[in-house]
Amino acid sequence: MASPTKFHSKTTGLGGKVFDNASMIDVLRQNAGGGGYQTLGRYVAAAMLNAAAGRTPHLSEATIRQIWNDLMALGYFEPTAGIRWGPTEITAYLRSTMR
């Protein structure tokens, strides 16, 4: 049986160390509380799965990676020049892309 895919791995392209060695499924199974990066991690994992399944044609895996990796590198994601999103704003955006 194959090992679950790690959240932070070459396979996902998601950088950082927020979830240490947790798998994507571990991140999805976290308690609903926690806020911040915990909540965002669940939405990022779900968004990656949705994008891979073609359920969000306007949101690609590459875009999700960029959003997460910019947040890890810069502390924010800039959807438009001068507008900075943190975990709360990114989570709200990802939620809006899901059915």
pTM: 0.92
Query: Which two structure tokens, joined as six digits, stand for 39?
Result: 């909540």
Taking residue 57's Cβ as centre, other Cβ atoms within 10 Å add up to 7
**pLDDT tens string 32-88:** 777 799 999 999 999 999 999 999 988 999 999 999 999 999 999 999 999 999 999
**Contact (Cβ atoms closer than 8 angstroms) between residue 90 and residue 76:** no
* Domain extents in the chain: 24-96
| Residue 1 predicted with pLDDT over 90 | no
83 three-class SS: strand
* DSSP label at residue 23: B
**Contact (Cβ atoms closer than 8 angstroms) between residue 24 and residue 12:** yes
